[in-house]
Amino acid sequence: MITTTARYDLGAAAARGIVAGFLAAHPGKGRFVTAVAGPDSELAAVGRSLERQIFEETFGNNADVMAAEYGPYESSSLFFVVLDRKRGVPAGVARMIESRGRGAKTVDDAPRHIGVDVETILAVHGMTGQKVWDCATLAVPPEYRGGRSSLLVSSMIYRTFLVMGRRAGVRHAVGMLDRGAFRNLGMVGMPLEAVAGSEPFAYLGSAENRAVYVEFGRIEPAVREQAVRMRRAARPGVAALTPSGLRRLLVRRVAAQVATRIGTGKDVDEHIIVAE
């Protein structure tokens, strides 16, 4: 692997300028748009800086740590950068690292944490040369995690992963998920498997991290099925009369909405733009 020099400290003014230029070139309706950007794009620099900001605040991973960890994978990275048209700022970012198994950061890093070598990981999950996407990072600022916008920003990132992965012919997906991300993805029906049957472990500042695998073709139908289950489970009943029952009802309704967006692309697909 060749380490590519990339900046993780792009200033706010520079980021706003890049975002403004992209939005001016791609006018449209809707508050949010997802830009799909390659590693050499200016928008990738916006995405990296947002990665560093959120990862430093959450896990203590500063620019030096980010460069050391992700530098070897820059040339094979693809960024999904959600932009807020109203405020002119990035609202979320995810990084996909493309490989054929070896060369995915999750596959490279997992052995020293789970005690299973790369060859076994690849064999267990049938990764025998087809295209693999490593969902290496996902970062959303705090102001987009609460209320309606957080659901839409996260949904756009996950849906973009499905749309672009299908176009690219992805067969397998892997990733490192902290406790919250693992719980949230399970809630929307993502059919996750522990890599080689592994248990949670500490990783890059996350005390409870999981290495996960999923067969790409199973994701979309599984999420759609979960949307149906959550809609049924969210129907009002006697249990909703209690505070805990009402909370469960609301959580299921939210999960149904998110799973529907991710699984069908409703109100999302038209806001995905591949940056030139």
What DSSP string runs through 224-273? HHHHHHHHHHTS--GGGGSHHHHHHHHHHHHHHHHHHHHHH-TTTGGGEE
Q: Give the number of residues written for the chain.
A: 276
A 10 A CB-CB count for 151 gives 17
| CA–CA distance, 7 with 64 (Å, rounded to integer) | 10
CATH topology of domain 12-273: Aminopeptidase (3.40.630)
Q: Are 251 and 259 in contact (CB under 8 A)?
A: no
Radius of gyration of the chain (CA): 19
216/120 Cα distance (integer angstroms): 20
**Closest by Cα among 187, 179, 172 to 210:** 179
Beta strands 201-203; 132-139: pairing state? unpaired
pLDDT tens, residue by residue, 121-150: 999 999 999 999 999 999 999 999 876 565
The mean per-residue pLDDT over the stretch 2-21 comes to 86
pLDDT digits (tens, 9 = 90+) for 76-98: 999 999 999 999 999 999 999 99
Mean pLDDT computed over 7-19: 94
CA-wise closest residue to 206 among 175, 177, 174, 186: 177
Distance CA 1, CA 72 (A): 6
pLDDT recorded at residue 238: 44
Number of Cβ within 10 Å of residue 43's Cβ equals 23
pTM exceeds 0.85, yes or no: yes
Do 195 and 106 form a contact (C-beta atoms < 8 A)?
yes
Average of per-residue pLDDT across 173-178: 98
